[in-house]
Copies of this chain bind each other. A is one copy, B any other.
Amino acid sequence: MRNLKLTIEYNGGKFCGWQKQNGKRSVQGELETAFFNLTGEKTNVEGSGRTDKGVHALAQVASVKTQNTMPIKNFKYALNNLLPDDIRVKKVEKADDNFHARFSAKRKTYKYLVHIGREKSAIKNEILGFYPYDVNYEKLLSASKILIGKHNFKGFCSANTQVKDFERTIFDISISKKGKDISFEITGDGFLYNMVRIIVGTLLEYSAGRLDLENIKKALKTGDRKYSGKTMAPNGLYLKSVVYE
Contact = CB atoms under 8 A, between A and B. Distances in A.
Interface of A: 9-11, 13, 56, 58, 80, 85-88, 90, 119-127, 238
Contact of A127 (B10, B56, B123): B123
B88 A119 contact: yes
B11 A126 contact: yes
The winner among A85, A86, A122, A127 for most chain B CB atoms within 10 A is A122
B87 A56 contact: no
Contacts of A10: 122-123
A125 B56 contact: no
A9 B124 CA distance: 11
Nearest to A85: B125
Contacts of A90: 119
Closest 4 CB pairs of A and B: A88-B122, A9-B122, A85-B125, A11-B123
